[in-house]
């Protein structure tokens, strides 16, 4: 009986980790969509090319998520890293262009806060 409960505890941990990874990925997509469309955030600060790059990456990520809702934890984490590799440099560039904030100013903290919210 104890072995069964330990077995189920491990399975529960694995399921929780998978759900957490999926939620983190979904949240990043959602937050990024809101950020690039909100005039108070990034909508007016992004070039059309950068906004298009991010939108395309978000669309691809959402399509992958819809097609792979039962993917494994590592898959969600990998896709999140790929999406961040596309979006984060653009966001950093925007913050740096707006007063050099990416070099230790307020903007850097905002970027870190944005990533933590995800």
Domain with residue 53: its CATH number is 1.20.1270.10
Spatial contact of 25 and 40, defined as CB atoms under 8 Å apart: no
Whole-model pTM: value is 0.77
The reported pLDDT for the residue numbered 41 is 82
Q: Note the pLDDT of residue 64.
A: 97
Q: What is the pLDDT of residue 116?
A: 45
Q: Are 107 and 95 in contact (CB under 8 A)?
A: yes
Total domains present in the chain: 1
Closest to 61 measured CA to CA, from 84, 91, 35 = 84
CA dist 43 and 76 (Å) reads 27
8 A C-beta contact, residue 38 and residue 86: no
User: Domain limits at 24?
Assistant: 2-117
Q: Which two tokens stand for residue 90?
A: 């653009």
d(CA 99, CA 52): 23
Mean pLDDT, consecutive 10-residue stretches, the chain (118 aa), reads 79 94 97 90 88 96 96 97 96 82 42 45
């Amino acid at each position: 009986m104890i072995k069964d409960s330990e077995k189920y505890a491990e399975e529960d941990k694995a399921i929780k980790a998978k759900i957490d990874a999926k939620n983190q990925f979904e949240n990043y997509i959602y937050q990024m969509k809101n950020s690039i469309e909100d005039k108070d955030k990034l909508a007016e600060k992004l070039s059309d090319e950068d906004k298009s790059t991010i939108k395309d990456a978000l669309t691809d990520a959402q399509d992958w998520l819809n097609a792979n809702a039962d993917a494994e934890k590592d898959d969600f984490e990998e896709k999140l890293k790929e999406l961040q590799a596309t979006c984060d440099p653009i966001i950093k560039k925007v913050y740096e262009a707006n007063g050099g904030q990416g070099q230790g100013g307020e903007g850097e903290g905002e970027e870190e806060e944005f990533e933590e919210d995800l």
